Structure 1
């Protein structure tokens, strides 16, 4: 049953549980960044192997999102949501107890699978529980705030837990939260799924999509070790593209009940919003990564101090997302999305003035606040645009697509910018530039390109989002408020 009122106790509980789950799985994308040095010394990782603590999560998360979204539609959104939370919590426990590199990497991969199930299921639950209009906009806005804040909060929480307790607690903390959320979801979230006639499963599409996305992301995240032109990188990327091409062919010609009906891309709003969220992911994942490195490697911050430096950013994202969820019912998603991406671009551009002898107040605070407000203003309307007008039985699919584009953009953007930043740093070191100056030079170039990603997203939203969808959004909002 769906309602326009978010004030029902069950609806409040549903919203709280979905937002908590989204916050948790997005937080785990970045929570290990600050803890990597401690993990390396504890489990004797090499520099080359250490990347897999991050990449194992990203690869399975991105690779299984489409399948997770469709599974929520077909098998039942609450059932899949609970299963994903339970899997995520148990994998977190295994990771926290890991006494070897292999066990930790395997646990992170299973965490990513759990995240790929939870993320689209949580948004699908919201979009099928709240009617399109102000109620859904507020719900999705809060969900977007938690997802947007999760990335920044991951660095904050990772630093605090690593410094005060142990790196293992960045994983242990998920266990009680995930299991409690799974138990409460059984009580408060209403079960729903696609109609029986729409519940056929496209096995060939599921296999080719999951393998294609996983292999392609795997090729991208390995570039910082093997390089972009190496045989392993090119082979993985080629295999991923072949599998995804086969997936498109299967969906368009052979599947009777396709995993991703290509007709969903008939919506111009969906196409444009997914492109914008791809660019948003590319810009923001890079920002969290390089800012964390600048604080620790250049300014010499401890993990705790570096984590606390992200507190203003985290709070600003939450505040801006809350304002955006209210504003989108008045002006529609397009103006807020354009303004948010533009402000994010400005904040990232200001990071290009970082100095090897800088300070938090003089160099980091203002760009952080601008970037955070931009993220908060952008993420809410882009999620609403990516899921509006979608049939209820395809809500999980639309959510999976949006999250796939965001993570794929983040993986591709971070891999590309890491390679570029490393090349600039190494070039400066060969010319006898000091280590701090060389590192800052690489980070500055990366921030500049990330700013270009965000500016391109603002332009794409301004030009590509059809005005008719904005007017329709306003009419629906006004009609719902007057009902």
Structure 2
């Protein structure tokens, strides 16, 4: 196999890995009611079909990044794909609630290892500059494709084959990836010096992150100061403070704190959080609009996201040109502004509208999504030593996970406060729900414009 063809197959492999991570985030949304009915989940426990994945994913990201740096990005990639595949297989075979939640946890663990190793492999397999930026653009655009494709695929598989196939669909992809990985991916790891593991730091940050993510997931349901949630947040915060103390005293820290002197990395993590808190909430609120107001089926609702998918893919292909002309900060700022404009356009949606009204706003958001998502990870890797790329990408991904958890809860709280209502959005009448969705889009737009300020305060103006 020629070098160029090998790189091409490697890019496809890494892009597909990003695709299944994004796909798995939304594909289960449509299947959850059927899973709940078949496995006997109560309304309160059903959310854990979603939350078990997010909890483990968010909790193990940092250790996943460190392991990929120390043990090798390709090796961790293969372990991650195997875990994800096993979790998917168990999910499809699940005949009990415990088995389903365990399967989702395994998928989350696979995702926590896969996310930083995949990005690090792009850094080590593609040369810095246009080649790497092109690879990053394709990799990132697969994230946007996966999010919207998941809703369509989830509806189709659940309707025609059963919810089990929303899990089984990942298994052949994982098997093919395991076969191709050693053939086309170059290994890259820290080879000099002793490989010491910061055990205390690892335990404190992992448990701390799990408790914090649990607090963020449960608080919107139980209450931010409720006795059943607040202790988890407090203990999680204490463990993270303990982690900082441990890291400052150990010779081989899990996260070298000098990384936090890199303004691009800090800016990228904050922007990733704001991105998820704004762009990431679109799928939830737009799905509510199409299914609860327009009364679309799951498949019709998924199809309404295709314009977004296409524009995100095209935006990913244009990333090199925009970066060359606008630089890091300029490219992210353009993407955030496009997102803000797109959300404002969507506030014109009517309760008697149609899918055609969705297209202008989602197309604009799709372009913005591609620019922000891709450039954020490029910025997070700028000026970082190659042996620490895994940890750096994990820091950015952690920001993304926290933004996702906090963003949706915060926007729903803002909407409820303004409507003077504690009603669940799904139980509102069409007029009330349409107003609530408009408010959510305004809140998301405000977050994107805040992102512009953060961008110019932290990121480099030019590519380095």
Q: When the two structures are superposed, what TM-score results if normalisation uses the length of structure 1?
A: 0.91
What residue ranges of structure 1 are gaps of 5+ in the alignment? 1-5, 474-483
Residues 269 and 385 in structure 1, CA contact (< 8 A), matched pair in contact too: yes
Once residues 10 and 131 of structure 1 are traced to their aligned partners in structure 2, the CA distance between those partners, rounded to angstroms, is: 14
2:189 counterpart residue number:
193
Segment of structure 1 superposing worse, 349-358 or 92-101: 349-358
- The within-5 A match list for 1:214-229 is 214-229=210-225
- The within-5 A match list for 1:79-478 is 79-197=75-193, 199-252=195-248, 254-362=249-357, 364-421=358-415, 427=421, 435-467=429-461, 470=462, 472-473=463-464
Once residues 282 and 17 of structure 2 are traced to their aligned partners in structure 1, the CA distance between those partners, rounded to angstroms, is: 23
Deviation at 1:353, TM superposition (A): 3.0
Once residues 30 and 425 of structure 1 are traced to their aligned partners in structure 2, the CA distance between those partners, rounded to angstroms, is: 28
Once residues 305 and 194 of structure 1 are traced to their aligned partners in structure 2, the CA distance between those partners, rounded to angstroms, is: 48
Residues 339 and 374 in structure 1, CA contact (< 8 A), matched pair in contact too: yes
Helix, strand or coil at the partner of 1:136:
helix
Deviation at 1:422, TM superposition (A): 5.4
2:27 counterpart residue number:
31
Deviation at 1:329, TM superposition (A): 3.7
Deviations 1:289-317 (A, max 9, x none): 11112211121111111111111111111
2:61 counterpart residue number:
65
Once residues 185 and 3 of structure 2 are traced to their aligned partners in structure 1, the CA distance between those partners, rounded to angstroms, is: 15
Once residues 84 and 145 of structure 2 are traced to their aligned partners in structure 1, the CA distance between those partners, rounded to angstroms, is: 19
Residues 19 and 146 in structure 2, CA contact (< 8 A), matched pair in contact too: yes
Residues 9 and 184 in structure 2, CA contact (< 8 A), matched pair in contact too: yes
Once residues 388 and 149 of structure 1 are traced to their aligned partners in structure 2, the CA distance between those partners, rounded to angstroms, is: 25
Deviations 1:117-145 (A, max 9, x none): 11100111111222321111111121111
Q: For residues 425 and 106 of structure 1, do their structure 2 counterparts lie closer, same or farther at Cα, with a shift above 3 Å needed?
A: farther
Segment of structure 1 superposing worse, 78-87 or 420-429: 420-429
Deviation at 1:356, TM superposition (A): 2.5
Deviation at 1:438, TM superposition (A): 2.3
Once residues 404 and 414 of structure 2 are traced to their aligned partners in structure 1, the CA distance between those partners, rounded to angstroms, is: 15
1:480 counterpart residue number:
none
Segment of structure 1 superposing worse, 412-421 or 269-278: 412-421
Q: For residues 434 and 12 of structure 1, do their structure 2 counterparts lie closer, same or farther at Cα, with a shift above 3 Å needed?
A: closer
Once residues 321 and 152 of structure 2 are traced to their aligned partners in structure 1, the CA distance between those partners, rounded to angstroms, is: 27
Helix, strand or coil at the partner of 2:30:
coil
| Residue-pair matches, total | 461
Once residues 442 and 102 of structure 1 are traced to their aligned partners in structure 2, the CA distance between those partners, rounded to angstroms, is: 35
Once residues 434 and 180 of structure 1 are traced to their aligned partners in structure 2, the CA distance between those partners, rounded to angstroms, is: 45
Q: For residues 223 and 357 of structure 1, do their structure 2 counterparts lie closer, same or farther at Cα, with a shift above 3 Å needed?
A: farther
Deviations 1:130-176 (A, max 9, x none): 23211111111211111233222222221222223222111110000
Segment of structure 1 superposing worse, 444-453 or 352-361: 352-361
Once residues 39 and 417 of structure 2 are traced to their aligned partners in structure 1, the CA distance between those partners, rounded to angstroms, is: 29
Residues 429 and 435 in structure 1, CA contact (< 8 A), matched pair in contact too: no
Once residues 35 and 297 of structure 1 are traced to their aligned partners in structure 2, the CA distance between those partners, rounded to angstroms, is: 16
Deviation at 1:386, TM superposition (A): 0.7
Once residues 259 and 216 of structure 1 are traced to their aligned partners in structure 2, the CA distance between those partners, rounded to angstroms, is: 19
Once residues 51 and 284 of structure 1 are traced to their aligned partners in structure 2, the CA distance between those partners, rounded to angstroms, is: 21
Deviation at 1:421, TM superposition (A): 4.2
Deviation at 1:426, TM superposition (A): 7.6
Q: For residues 422 and 85 of structure 1, do their structure 2 counterparts lie closer, same or farther at Cα, with a shift above 3 Å needed?
A: farther
Once residues 194 and 391 of structure 2 are traced to their aligned partners in structure 1, the CA distance between those partners, rounded to angstroms, is: 13
Deviation at 1:458, TM superposition (A): 1.6
